[in-house]
Amino acid sequence: MTRKTRGKRFTMIDEMEPAPKGTEYDFYFGPAHPGPGNFGVKLKIDGERVVSARADPGYLHRGFEKLMEYRTPIQNAVLSDRLCVLEPLNWNLVHAEAVDELMSIDVPERAKYIRVIMAELSRIQSHIIWYGVFSKATGFDTGFKMAFGYRDYILDLFELITGGRVYPAGYICPGGVRRDFPNGARDKILKVLDKMDEMIKLEELENPALDARAKGVGILKVKDAVRLGATGPVLRGSGMKTDVRKDEPYEIYDRLDFEVPVRKEGDAYARYMIGIEEMKQSIKIVKQALEELPEGEVIASKFKKPKVSVKMPEGDVYVRNEVARGEGAVYMVSDGNGEPYRTKIRGPDFLHMIPVLEYLLKGTQIADVPAIYWSLNICPADMDR
Amino acid sequence: MKLGILPKLLQNLFSKPMTVRFPYESIPIPDGYRGEHAYDMDKCISCGLCAKICPNRAIEMVEAPEDLKDTYPKTYPKLDLGKCCFCGLCEDICSKDAIRLTKNVFLSTFDHSNVIKYPTPKAEEQVNG
């Protein structure tokens, strides 16, 4: 692999002589390290080259699928926050939609709009974290601090609307949402969106260091991306135009006007740019939804007051959504009791962090490992579940 | 040479920091925040719904202390804040508003016995104070 962005004073990895025999060593990237989050990758290194990579999942396993079998839908809504620390509201929505479909509940119109607004705000803050950790991984620490500073504006908003900064505690629950917007929430959201525009401008500033470390690194071709099961920003960064919000619209996405950003390069830089483009689209969606926000109830009468026992009819349902990291889905089977008989959660990161990551890391330089790792928009919590 | 970041640098030199000096000033917490619980024993009808809805099983229905048994003969919620996830379902399900979440977020403690809140009639005053 040759790289155009780097000057000629560097020896390209393909031009280097292979290291003498017996110089291979194991390198543990993670799990207890600020670099990779709570996830480990076992690398076999030869000189500067990664000979092979083996993902080592399980460090953050909490067993959600089993826990959900002992809880009622409203309790599971609270539990579904924890599926992904960085985007709890998106996972709330997937779970709530699965229960709604299983129980055939008519969600009030206002609730649908609020759900979309909150999910998109959650997507924006998740992409900001993505930018932050990607900057940190490529040695741009200011970007990390900037990202977490600007993310706090959205967290303030969540605090006002849901009552919690990071975890909304099942704000998007079966039947609608748990609370209506408080007074002045609309103006505050618009103010925060202006701040997000500011953040996007900062993200778009030229950064030669990031260009050098991200361009041409970790190229994933469309064919390989599909074969390895990539979805969301990773697949769009490789050049396939796909988005569940467009392909199979849920909630009110079919009424909204937004675009799906696609890039053909398939490298870490393309994925990073997809993140920025998606933030712009999310801001557009929130503004549209706020304009059209109707009046009325925010939760179906059946769930107005939480009940200790809710009877779910027998059946099974598969619901998929576009969460910030890709395609998130819930397969729920009910045997007619209050609790689901089985809940299978399909997270996007399981495939991004095991097959895709192993494929991309093989044959790269050791210095590119963090850049590739964080360019996949990963979340160890979502992968281990 | 790319200088796009320079104007921002100059701007940052003369702007306020994003953070606040915490012990001396703090960001106000909005109404509806899910913080520490305030429990009113007099309003409680001992229905036990809060214990049943709690996703983390942090609430257990226990008898009142010996000296209060004459006034409060039923069972009352004992709350383990170490298990609590502050979802607020107990507040939502309570039909008598006996349990509600306050804005108090300063819950860190060196003494593990502070984490468990036994039913006492005075709990409300302590929280508001």
Q: Say how many C-beta atoms besides its own lie within 10 A of residue B70's C-beta.
A: 8
| H helices, E strands: number in chain A | 15, 8
Residues of A in contact with B17 (CB under 8 A): none
Give tens-digit pLDDT for A240-263. Answer: 888 888 888 888 888 888 889 998
Query: Is pLDDT at B129 greater than 50 in this prediction?
Result: no
Residue A141: pLDDT band (50, 70, 90) is: confident
Query: Is pLDDT at B127 greater than 60 in this prediction?
Result: no
Work out the percent of chain A whose per-residue pLDDT is above 70.
94
Q: Where are the beta strands (DSSP E) in chain A?
A: 25-29, 40-46, 49-56, 172-173, 176-177, 315-323, 326-334, 342-346
Res B72: pLDDT: 79
Query: Is pLDDT at A89 greater than 50 in this prediction?
Result: yes
Give yes or no for a contact between A154 and A129, defined as CB atoms under 8 angstroms apart. Answer: no
Residue A52: pLDDT band (50, 70, 90) is: confident
Shortest distance between the Cα of B56 and any Cα of chain A, in A, equals 9
Euclidean distance between CA atoms A271 and A203, whole angstroms: 14
Query: What are the residue ranges spanned by the domains of chain A?
Result: 64-384
Residues of B in contact with A205 (CB under 8 A): 4-5, 8
Work out the percent of chain A whose per-residue pLDDT is above 90.
12
Flag whether residue A159 sits within 8 Å of chain B, measured between CB atoms. yes
Residue A1: pLDDT band (50, 70, 90) is: very low
Comparison of pLDDT for A296 and A8, the residue scoring more: A296
Length of chain B (residues) = 129
Give tens-digit pLDDT for A186-238. Answer: 899 999 999 898 888 888 877 777 888 888 888 888 888 898 888 888 898 88
Res B122: pLDDT: 62
Q: What share of chain B is helix, strand, coil (3-state, %, to 5)?
A: 25, 15, 60
* For residues B26-50, average pLDDT: 86
Query: Is pLDDT at B128 greater than 70 in this prediction?
Result: no
Lowest mean pLDDT among A72-76, A103-107, B16-20, B66-70: B66-70
Average confidence score pLDDT of chain B: 82
Res B123: pLDDT: 47
Comparison of pLDDT for A282 and B1, the residue scoring more: A282
Flag whether residue B32 sits within 8 Å of chain A, measured between CB atoms. yes
Q: Which ipTM value was assigned to this complex?
A: 0.82
Query: Is pLDDT at B124 greater than 50 in this prediction?
Result: no
Flag whether residue A169 sits within 8 Å of chain B, measured between CB atoms. yes
Q: How far is CA A288 from CA A158, A252, A254, A291, in A?
A: 19, 11, 12, 5
Res A121: pLDDT: 92
**Closest in B2, B34, B49 to A308, CB measured:** B49
Res A120: pLDDT: 92
* For residues B43-53, average pLDDT: 87
Give tens-digit pLDDT for A313-342. Answer: 888 999 998 888 888 899 999 988 888 898
Query: Is pLDDT at A35 greater than 50 in this prediction?
Result: yes
Give yes or no for a contact between A380 and A37, defined as CB atoms under 8 angstroms apart. Answer: yes
Query: Is pLDDT at A364 greater than 50 in this prediction?
Result: yes
Q: Who contacts A2 (Cβ-Cβ below 8 Å, separation ≥6)?
A: A12, A14
Give tens-digit pLDDT for A289-305. Answer: 989 888 888 888 888 88
Interface test with A, best of B33, B47, B87, B89 (most A CBs within 10 A): B87
Give tens-digit pLDDT for B3-23. Answer: 767 887 888 888 888 888 888
Res A283: pLDDT: 92
* For residues A160-176, average pLDDT: 88
Q: How many CA atoms lie within 13 A of A270 on its CB side?
A: 23
Shortest distance between the Cα of A159 and any Cα of chain B, in A, equals 7
Euclidean distance between CA atoms A370 and A166, whole angstroms: 25
Shortest distance between the Cα of B89 and any Cα of chain A, in A, equals 7
Flag whether residue B2 sits within 8 Å of chain A, measured between CB atoms. yes
- Three-class secondary structure assignment of A235-266: HHHCCCCCCHHHHCCCCCHHHCCCCCCCCCCC
Shortest distance between the Cα of B29 and any Cα of chain A, in A, equals 8
Residue in A352, A287, A298 with CA at minimum distance from that of residue A324: A352
The two tokens of residue A53 are 């990579």
Res A19: pLDDT: 60
- State the DSSP code for B2: -
Give tens-digit pLDDT for B60-99. Answer: 888 887 777 787 788 888 888 888 888 888 888 888 888 8
Contact between chains at B31 and A207 (C-beta distance less than 8 A):
no
Q: Say how many C-beta atoms besides its own lie within 10 A of residue A104's C-beta.
A: 9
Flag whether residue B30 sits within 8 Å of chain A, measured between CB atoms. yes
* For residues A37-66, average pLDDT: 84
Flag whether residue B85 sits within 8 Å of chain A, measured between CB atoms. yes
Q: How many CB pairs under 8 A join A and B?
A: 63
* For residues A170-184, average pLDDT: 87
CA A288 to mean position of chain CA atoms: 22
Angle between helices A109-137 and A88-102 (to 10 degrees): 140
What amino acid is encoded at A78 in this protein? V
Chain A residue closest in CA terms to B95: A305
**Closest in A78, A156, A202 to B87, CB measured:** A78
Interface test with B, best of A74, A188, A339 (most B CBs within 10 A): A74
3-state SS, residue A304: coil
Q: Where are the beta strands (DSSP E) in A117-260?
A: 172-173, 176-177
Flag whether residue A85 sits within 8 Å of chain B, measured between CB atoms. no
Average confidence score pLDDT of chain A: 85
* Domain A64-384 in this protein, CATH class: mainly alpha
Chain B residue closest in CA terms to A82: B85
**Closest in A79, A164, A307 to B55, CB measured:** A79
Residues of B in contact with A75 (CB under 8 A): 53, 55, 89
Interface test with B, best of A74, A78, A172 (most B CBs within 10 A): A78
**Closest in B33, B53, B85 to A163, CB measured:** B33
The pTM of the full predicted model, rounded to 2 decimals, is 0.86
CA A150 to mean position of chain CA atoms: 18
Residue in B95, B36, B103, B49 with CA at minimum distance from that of residue B76: B49
